[in-house]
Chain A
Amino acid sequence: MAWQRKILRVDLTKGTCTAEPLNMDWAQDYLGQRGLATKYFCEEVDPKVDPLAPENKLIYATGPLTGTMASTGARFSVITKGPLTGAIACSNSGGYFGAELRFAGWDMIILEGKSPIPVYLHIENDKARLLPADEIWGKSTWDTEAILKKKHHDPLTRVSSVGRAGESQVMFAAIVNDLHRAAGRSGVGAVMGSKNLKAVAVRGTVGVGNLRDPKGFMQATVAAKKVLADNAVTGQGLPKFGTQVLMNVINEMGALPTRNHRDVKFEDANRIGAEAMHEKRPTDGRANLVTNQACFGCTIACGRISKIDETHFSVVNKPEYWGASGGLEYEAAWALGAATGVGDLEALTYANFLCNEDGIDPISFGATVGAAMELYDLGLIKESDVGFPLLFGSAEVLTKLTEMTVNGVGFGKEIGLGSKRLCAKHGRPELSMSVKGQEFPAYDSRGIQGMGLAYATSNRGACHLRGYTVASEVLGIPVKTDPLVTEGKAGLVKAFQDATAVFDSSGLCVFTSFAWTLADVQPQLQAACEGDWSMEKLELVGERIWNLERQFNNAAGFTHKDDNLPQRLLSEAVKEGPAKGLVNGLDKMLPEYYALRGWSKEGVPTLETTQRLGLSA
C-alpha cells in the first residue's frame, strides 16, 4: 500500500480540520507528492485565481516512500499557484518534517481559505487543530520552531513555517522546516502568509508500515543503497564537498552567470566554492564548513553545516549568528555571490543564514540584488533610492540588503518584489534574468545550451531541478553530451523532465539520480506500492504529470510566447571561454521539443497526446 490513504483538509476560513480518504484511483495515475498533489490542485483550483487570494490553495504532499527506509525518503512538496510566477508552483524540501507527517498517518494536507487571525496547525497523529499564533507571529522561522517545540513539550515536534518574509508576502518567500531545509522557490511562503497561517507543527508516532511486500522492499532498498554508496558522486563527492563543488566546474567552463549575466566567469569563484569552505581561515584557524548533514533516511548527506568567522564584519556584534547552522549550497552561493559579484564567503554565509532564518529563496533574492545592481550601474536606481551605493561586488551592500529584505524595510521592499517586477518598474524589464517571472539558477544557458530549453519550458519558471541537463552536458551523467550544441537537447530535456517528475512524486530526493536511474527506483516502488509500477508505467506517469502542469499553466494564461529566455541570452554573445561567440539556440530546440512532447506549435498538448496520457483535453 505505502500510501497512508488519508488526507487532512484544513479550512482556514471556518477553522475546521477534516480527514478524507485519499483518492486511490488518482494515486495509481499520479503516484504521490508532486504528481498527486498537482492532480488535486488542478481539480480544485481555478487556474485564473489570484495566488494571494483565499481561493488559492496550498498543499503539503508526501510521496509513498516518504518516511520509509528507502534512502533519501525524506521529501515532501508544497504545491500551489505561485505569486512570483502566476504558474503552478511545486517546491520540494527535505529535512525531517515530511517523514514526521507520514508517521502521523497523513499523505497530504490541503489548506484552503484564509484564517481571520494568525494561526498555526498542530498535528499529533490523527488529532489536528488550528491554534492562535499570537506568540509566533512576527517571529523568525528559527524562533517559531523553538517556541512551538517548547510549548508542546516535545523536541521531536517537526515544524514547517514562514518567517517575517512570508508574513509580509515577499514574492519569493520560502517555507522553512528543520531550521535550514526549505520549500524554497516560487513564493510558496507568501501564499502561506496570505492565509494567516504561520506554521505547521507535526508529531507522529503511527509510523509507515503498510508496505505491499516488506521483505521485497527491504531487499530493494538495500540494493539501491549499495548503488549510492558505491558511486563516486553519491558515496564520496557529495558527502565531502556538497553541491558547492560545482562552483569551480561551472566557472572553469565559462558558464557561471556573473553580475546579472553580464559575464560568464567570476574572478572570485575559487573564494566561495566547496574547496574554500574546507580551507582554514587565517583569523581563527577554523574552516567555514563544520560538517555535512543528512535529511531523514538519507545515505548521501550532502547538506552543509557552517560557522561564520566571529570577527567578520557581518556578525562581529551578533553572537546569535556565531553558532553552526545551514551552510551554502551551490545555488545559494552562486546567487548571493557570483550574481552580485561578491566574493566574500563569510558574507555569503551570513546572508544565507538570514535567508533561512526568515524564509526567503536565496536564488531569487541574490539574482534580484544582481539585477538591482545593474540598474544602479546604469543610473536607473539612484543612491537616494537605496540609502547607499548599490555597487556590484560589495559584501556590505549584500548583507545590508538581506537584512532590509527579510525585515521588509526601505529598499528591501523593492527587492522583495523579485527581479521581474523590479526591472519593469525601472523601465528595463529585459534585465530580469528570469523565465515566467522566476529567476535563473546558476548555469548560463549560452554555455550549457540544453539548460536554456529546460529553463524556457520549466512549468514553474526558470529552474534547474525540473530538467537538470547539466548532469549530462557537464558531468557526464548518465552520458556526456556537448554543452555547446543544440542537437539532441530537446530529447534530453524531455527525458530529464519526465524522469524528475517521477522522483519528485515518490518521496525520494532527485540527487539520487546522480547514481540511480528510474530502474533503481522502480523495484522500491513496486515492493512498496500496490498496483503496476513497471518502468513503462513510471515513464508514462512522469509524462502525464508534466503535461498536467502544462495544462494548468495554459489555462492560467501562459502561452508558447512565455517559453522564452531574456534577450541577453538570445542576442548578446558570450565574450570569453569555450562558449565565446555563442548565444542560446532556443529557436532551434523549441520546435523539436514541442514535436517530441506531442504539442501543437502553440505549445498545447494535442488531443492525441491528452488521450494517450489519460488527461482531459
Chain B
Amino acid sequence: MAALPDSNRSPTLEEGLRFLGTDRVELKWVEDLAGGRSMIDSAPDSAVLVTEALPLRANLSVLENMAIVPQYRHDTPYEAAADQAWQLLSRLEVTAMAFKRDPDLTSEERFQAKFLRAIMAAPPIIVIDRPGQLLPDTHYPPFLGRCLATLENHFEQCWIVDYLWNEPLYAPR
C-alpha cells in the first residue's frame, strides 16, 4: 500500500478500508476464542495488544495515559512526552478527548486512545484483538481502516485478529 497522495489530509472511508488486509495491516481470521488466543500468543513478545481486556489507567487522562509510556521508558520529560502525544491526537483529529478519563470516553474514543497509547510504545507489531468487542456500536472495518491509514507513518505493522464470521463486514459497501 502506497502512502496517501497527500499525507496531511485524512483518508476517506474507502481509502481506509483498502488499507486493511495489506502487508502493513494484516487481517488474521480465527474461528473461536481459543484460536484468537493462540494467534495473539504467536505474536512476538514485544508486540503491544489493543484489547478490551487491557484498559487505560482510570485515574489518568488520555493525554497522560499516552505520555506515561515515553516518560517511563525513555525518561522523556512530561512536556515533551505530552507534546508527542498531542501530535498524534491532532493527526487523528481527536484532541477533544485529550483531557477526558476512561469512563467519559465513547467506545470509539476509547479504542483510539488505546491504539495511540500502543503507538507511543513503538512496538514492531500492534495487535488489535477482536475489534468488535472494542467498537460494539460501530461498523468498525471502515473506522479501523481510516484510523490506521491516518496514522500509517506512526506504526510498523498491525494485526487485526477477528472472527471468521465477521469477514463480510470488511467488504466494501
To the question of whether A and B form a pair in one complex, the answer is no
Q: Which residues of B contact A (CB under 8 A)?
A: none
Which positions in A face B, CB cutoff 8 Å? none
